[in-house]
Structure 1
Amino acid sequence: MEYRRLGRSGVKVSALSLGSWVTFGTAVDTDLAVATMKVAREAGVNFFDNAEAYAGGQSEELMGKALRKLKWRRNSYLVSSKYFWGLNDGVNERNTLNRKYLLDAIDGSLERLGLSFIDIAYCHRPDPETPIEETVRAMNDIIDRGKALYWGVSEWSAAEIRNAYEIADRYGFHKPVTEQPQYNLFHRKRVEVEYEEIFRDFKMGTTTWSPLASGLLSGKYVNGIPEGSRGALSGYEWLTPSLTDPSKNNVVGELAKLAAEIGATPSQLAIAWCLLNPNVSTVITGATSIAQVNENMESIKVLSSLTPEIAQRIQAIVASVAN
């Protein structure tokens, strides 16, 4: 496993990490959560991503149960969680980053995870209705109180990140150290173009998600949506248009041929490609089986096969559908 510094912070994260979105609390039970986390850890993974909203809090509960069973030394791994959507319908408890919500939400996560602190607390989406200074101050206080060690943002615009960073710098608050954006062969512009100045000016880290474009890049949707896949889950019907897009699936077929040339699976090719970007600190992978974890972890070995020539061929294949 390769380890990369998380932005300008002193902490290092494994280049491949394990996330719980759409798995823990839906497709994965406690025993399987323990098994997948154990196999990932044995492969060198030290970062496990979660969010308050995943499965309505059940994802955090499940990860907490798994961590208690695994009994790892606390300083040997990192856990993150994210806040914005909330778990309740109160006027100050949903779709917000106000101080009242954030200080309560972190306590809820710690209780569900069974931890005294988390390593990274994220603002899961920007909140245009709360003054950004209020949010930055609340995140600073969460760190000062020892409930999180670092904080970051997820899917914020470059302008919003700059505003938050400059407010933190002005008042001597803890600065955000990382962004969690979607990044894959089909979704590139935000990371590669919009954030260019953010990386240059603030040395932000990234914990990127959806390296397989919700499974599309794995090739499993070339012939439609198979039973038991993410696309077939209740509540994820919004993914159908993308997963069944003929032009994208044609591209996936071409990528699969290239992957076979270098002795990789389509998934491994797509994940390894994300790691070519020096601004990617870690690629968050997901899995509902031990076999998937093992396949994803092998992506680190594929990275050396992505020569400049292979990278150019990949670029040419996806050029017509990337955004």
Structure 2
Amino acid sequence: MTPDEALSTAAVPTRILGPSGELVPVFALGSWNTWDRMSRDTAVTLVRRACAVGAPFFDVGNYNLGPHAEGARTDILFGETMREAGLSREDYLVCGKLWLWDYPNTSFADWMRDSLDRIGIDAADYVVVGDHLDPVDIRQVVLDVQAEIDAGRFRHWGINNWPYEEALLALDFAAAEGLTPPTFAQLKYSLARRSMAEGEFYGRLFAQGRLALQASDVFEGGILVGKTRPERRIGADVGGVREQIVASWPRVRDLAASLDATPAQLGIAFCLANPATANVLFGVSSFAQFEDALGALDLLDRVGADRLATAAADLWVDRAVNPDGTWAPTAGVSSIAG
């Protein structure tokens, strides 16, 4: 499909990204190494199209740290793309990354200055404070995030796959000290992985309105859209359930067909059917893939959230993974949302 062919007329709706956030599109475009998986012409066309349909929310990370230290240029390429597309900074939202792998040796201030310089912008709108390998002082993290907000380098922040206890500590400490709390949690969430997002722990925070959900890894690195042996690096296999997810692919394909949808549309619509979901973070590498994703909005309207949740119930493969963020095997996971 090209921009000259018939395009979806869908307008991407908005939802509030948490109690202290803002209205944002339900699509968040980006994820790991998105911008170095397509040509510049494709990228320019893609970002213009995303802005035109009301989805100008871009997740952009500097991945050159810790386990991802690989000389990635995806954030630099994103900045070059936006400038070539002729888009002004006011035309789009940027959600950056703050990693904890070398924190506090690498300060948030140093990391943000370098990250913004690589993109070529003065400030982000949101940041996600990433996961960590070693214990960190969560109270100090909240204080250092506040210092970056005060410095004008971003306005709001979220957390990425934190254990529940750390999320609760960050929320409670921010409230007690009058600081800016995290407003959303970026969690692995898909047709197959649901325990952390739907379980009784994070699910409780979502139900209480203390956080919103940003769904990520929604295609399991492409497995849930038919790429059952991904060649590129993908996210961690939390709970060791990836082979079960691979085995579920034929059922995902068949369910999508029964709903007159593509697997990608089914995966996005399923996440949006959860009322806790503020937006869905996914990566594309072609214009056609983005156009296909727009069809998820029609699918959700046509089928409805309840029917989607019911139809996909048997695809949940990590039920035996503890939903509190510790990822210890357990039994009897109860779903709060979905």
Q: TM-score range by the shorter chain?
A: 0.7 to 0.9
Task: Report the residue type matching 2:84 in the other structure.
Answer: K
Residue 155 of structure 1: aligned partner: 161
> How big is the shift at 1:166?
1.5
Tell me the alpha carbon deviations over residues 160-197 of structure 1, each in whole angstroms, 9 at most, x when there is no partner. Answer: 01111122122221111111111101110101113022
Q: 2: CA distance between counterparts of 1:30 and 1:195? A: 39
Task: Report the residue type matching 1:76 in the other structure.
Answer: D
CA contact (8 A) 1:18 1:48 kept: yes
Task: Report the residue type matching 1:286 in the other structure.
Answer: G
Flag as ranges the 4+ runs of structure 1 deviating above 4 A: 235-239, 319-323
Of residues 174, 179, 184, the one that matches 1:173 is 179
Residue 51 of structure 1: aligned partner: 61
Residue 88 of structure 1: aligned partner: none
Of residues 310, 313, 322, the one that matches 1:312 is 310
> How big is the shift at 1:99?
7.4
Residue 278 of structure 1: aligned partner: 275
Aligned to 1:98, the other structure's residue is in SS state coil
Higher helix fraction (1 or 2): 1
Residue 205 of structure 1 pairs with residue 215 of structure 2: no
Task: Report the residue type matching 1:35 in the other structure.
Answer: T
Taking the TM superposition and a 5 Å limit, the aligned residue runs for 1:191-230 are 191-193=197-199, 194-221=201-228, 225=229
> How big is the shift at 1:284?
0.9
Residue 266 of structure 1 pairs with residue 266 of structure 2: no
Distance 1:143 1:22, change over 3 A: same
Taking the TM superposition and a 5 Å limit, the aligned residue runs for 1:235-246 are 235=233, 245=243
Distance 1:204 1:260, change over 3 A: same
Residue 336 of structure 2: aligned partner: none
Task: Report the residue type matching 1:170 in the other structure.
Answer: A
Tell me the alpha carbon deviations over residues 210-257 of structure 1, each in whole angstroms, 9 at most, x when there is no partner. Answer: 111111111232xxx3xxxxx123x55987x966x3x54453212322
Structure 1 unmatched runs, 5+: 86-94, 226-230
> How big is the shift at 1:300?
1.3
Of residues 144, 156, 161, the one that matches 2:150 is 144
Residue 45 of structure 2: aligned partner: 35
Residue 232 of structure 1 pairs with residue 231 of structure 2: yes
Distance 1:207 1:309, change over 3 A: closer
Task: Report the residue type matching 1:268 in the other structure.
Answer: Q
> How big is the shift at 1:206?
2.2
Normalising by the residue count of structure 1, what TM-score does the alignment of the two structures yield?
0.84
Normalising by the residue count of structure 2, what TM-score does the alignment of the two structures yield?
0.81
Aligned to 1:152, the other structure's residue is in SS state strand
My pick for the range that moved more, 280-289 or 162-171, is 162-171
> How big is the shift at 1:320?
5.4
Of residues 70, 75, 78, the one that matches 1:63 is 78
Distance 1:273 1:140, change over 3 A: same
Task: Report the residue type matching 1:112 in the other structure.
Answer: R
Q: Tell me how many residue pairs correspond in the alignment.
A: 300
Tell me the alpha carbon deviations over residues 243-276 of structure 1, each in whole angstroms, 9 at most, x when there is no partner. Answer: 6x3x544532123222222210111111110100
> How big is the shift at 1:65?
0.7
Taking the TM superposition and a 5 Å limit, the aligned residue runs for 1:286-301 are 286-301=283-298
> How big is the shift at 1:81?
1.1
Of residues 28, 47, 60, the one that matches 1:17 is 28
Aligned to 1:215, the other structure's residue is in SS state helix
Q: 2: CA distance between counterparts of 1:236 and 1:272? A: 22
Of residues 112, 121, 126, the one that matches 1:120 is 126
Residue 334 of structure 2: aligned partner: none
Structure 2 unmatched runs, 5+: 1-11, 65-69, 322-338
CA RMSD of aligned residues (A): 2.4
Aligned to 1:118, the other structure's residue is in SS state coil
Task: Report the residue type matching 1:71 in the other structure.
Answer: G
Q: 2: CA distance between counterparts of 1:178 and 1:200? A: 13
Q: 2: CA distance between counterparts of 1:10 and 1:72? A: 23
Tell me the alpha carbon deviations over residues 31-78 of structure 1, each in whole angstroms, 9 at most, x when there is no partner. Answer: 332222222222321210011216645111111111112232433321
Tell me the alpha carbon deviations over residues 274-321 of structure 1, each in whole angstroms, 9 at most, x when there is no partner. Answer: 1001111100121111111111122111112334344312213x1456
